[in-house]
Structure 1
Amino acid sequence: MTASGAETTAVRVDDLAVEYPGRRLSAPHRALHGVDVVVGDDEVVGIVGESGSGKSTLARVIAGDLVAPKGADPAPVIVGGDATVLGHRLRGIRRRELTSLTFNVAYLPQDAASRLAPELTVAEVIAQPILERDRLYNRKALGLRVATMLDAVELPLAVFEKYPFELSSGQRQRVAVARSLVLGPKLWVADEPTAGIDVTVRGAISHLIARLHEEGSFAAVLISHDLSLLRRSTSRVAALHDGRIVGLGPIDDLLAHPEHPFLAGLSHANSTVSSDAG
């Protein structure tokens, strides 16, 4: 599977198999089985699938989220095939090289909105990734960057000095999106980026992706059940079921000619929603 028209790739996943290590008496859990996906260096690809299909695991691997903090749930382990992201092969990657890779990859996990530091203001939350790399970063430039990101996700400057608990869930999600993109990454891996965001402002995420794409080389992998986002922002979508890809192509092509029961169900649900909206 190749990215149409792409001479170089941001992501190449070849026959990828991924497991989560077992704990005590539990056996390892195989989350991905022989997955193949390619993302061009200026392409946005979507991932759809039911809960437990392996889509969030694929997101973690592509984002380089392969080292779990002490005491946390185990990180995914590549046990077959490989994944290459921005030129870095991930299977057996050394920690120093992994750090170099993740400098250019932004990862928005599914629970990003709930991870916002409660003791920091919105401005401090968004600025945090910059200050972690450069504590002496010009404060005027930093404030301007934060304000620009707030505008990009259609949040008013009035939230600048508020704390996450003072915001709605949708506003917290938009803050998380702004934070993940503040460094201007080459690759954005976003797991349900429009989760909790009111339908009237979900377009802000699509507009932001389009703008980043226009400004330069920008690739993204969007794990989402938001078909509107996938239609607006992706060139192709990979459908996952039980850790395997069961469809790959433009989202409307997959829905128009479903070749797997999961896609048939998704197509039916989409038709029902469209009929109700009409």
Structure 2
Amino acid sequence: MAEEAEAILEVGGLVKHYPLTQGVLFRKEVGSVRAVDGVDFTLRRGETLGIVGESGCGKSTVARMLVNLERPTAGAIRYKGEDITRLSGRALKAVRRNIQMVFQDPYTSLNPRMTVGDIIGEPYEIHPEAAPRGERRKRVRELLDVVGLNPEHINRYPHQFSGGQRQRIGIARGLALRPEVIVADEPVSALDVSVQSQVINLMDRLQSEFDLSYVFIAHDLSIVRHISDRVGVMYLGRIVEIGTDTEIYDHPTHPYTQALLSAVPVPDPEARAHRERIILTGDVPSPTNIPSGCRFRTRCWKARERCAQEVPTLAVPLHLGDPAGPAAHDSACHFAEAVSFGRSAPGQTVLPEPTP
């Protein structure tokens, strides 16, 4: 992906806090769930940005804010330079036509009382300018064919399709208005492994055919690497490391990313036997009680006193040496260290307890 490509989506300081209240008649706010707590990234035209992280780290909340299903507490989401968080009415409706979403569950995201033709054609009812009324049925049939389904099944209902076919229906609905950006929130996590590859290959082909930019959210690191140009790693509401797929997977610098990659299964028994395994201690802190300083420090084997006092900045660590090297990418760690993973890693070690 060329660095000179146009930035189609720019996210800056994105925050989403859900208030915690007590009382019945007189409700009082006693705290908040800090689901997303300062996320920054840029999506360029024709690019796929993968976002990975543990369950509960805020990935899906970011996805919902990108398509304005959730209003951010603070921050900006700029589509072609315009902050869409400040839009409403017709202006917001026009932007939503260009940013569509593919949901995680291919069954609950489809109305069981509507036929496939009505589901895929519903965007034309909301945006009638996208297709003349007399051509909508034809457009729906074309979309079914594009995603690999039989156009003759246009009058069937979602329950008459398999999981993979239902996800294809969801993708066809997302393509109906010819958007520029598609936010895919774990689109293959509910599918069988063999079907996952089919859907990923389909999305890869559609990206070239429709000139799409993807925000691809998942927890499966291998799938994200296959489809992504750049990858952002989230932990407890923030992106802790971001870079190209080669930089993140082969030369991670943040301890959390290194721990994630060390847990990826290796199909080669010989490589698995000589692989370094990083085992984290403790649980992920509650988003209602975020640790001071670096939020990963309670589980990090590199944690020092500075980590509890200073919030690390997501930037290229200056002490990593070669500014043109693969380790020179943004990492939010005071003690970021380049580690070469490559296709396999030697040794199996249990790292020491983190410093409290």
Q: TM-score, normalised by structure 1?
A: 0.82
CA distance in 2, matches of 1:260, 1:269: 15
Closer, same or farther in 2 for the Cα pair 1:151/1:200, shift >3 Å? farther
Using the TM superposition, give the Cα deviation of residue 116 of structure 1 relative to its aligned residue in structure 2, in angstroms.
Answer: 1.1
**1:1-278 map, 5 Å:** 4-23=2-21, 24-25=27-28, 27-66=31-70, 76-79=71-74, 81-111=75-105, 113-134=107-128, 137-139=132-134, 141-157=135-151, 159-215=153-209, 217-270=211-264, 272-275=265-268
SS in 2 for 1:274: coil
CA distance in 2, matches of 1:230, 1:253: 14
CA distance in 2, matches of 1:6, 1:226: 29
Q: CA RMSD in A?
A: 2.8
- Structure 1 unaligned runs (5+)? 67-75
Q: Is the 8 A contact 2:14 2:39 kept in 1?
A: yes
Using the TM superposition, give the Cα deviation of residue 228 of structure 1 relative to its aligned residue in structure 2, in angstroms.
Answer: 4.4
Using the TM superposition, give the Cα deviation of residue 158 of structure 1 relative to its aligned residue in structure 2, in angstroms.
Answer: 5.4
Code of the aligned partner of 1:202: Q
Closer, same or farther in 2 for the Cα pair 1:93/1:114, shift >3 Å? same
Q: Is the 8 A contact 2:106 2:163 kept in 1?
A: no
Closer, same or farther in 2 for the Cα pair 1:148/1:252, shift >3 Å? farther
Deviations 1:193-214 (A, max 9, x none): 1232333333443344334433
Q: How many residues align?
A: 264
Deviations 1:13-58 (A, max 9, x none): 1222222244545533222222210111221111111111111111
| Higher helix fraction (1 or 2) | 1
CA distance in 1, matches of 2:237, 2:42: 16
CA distance in 2, matches of 1:257, 1:162: 48
SS in 2 for 1:36: strand
Q: Which has the larger radius of gyration?
A: 2
CA distance in 1, matches of 2:137, 2:222: 32
Deviations 1:117-154 (A, max 9, x none): 11111122111112332298344x43333233223333
CA distance in 2, matches of 1:267, 1:171: 31
CA distance in 2, matches of 1:60, 1:146: 26
Q: What stretches of structure 1 move > 6 A for 4+ residues in a row?
A: none
Q: TM-score, normalised by structure 2?
A: 0.65
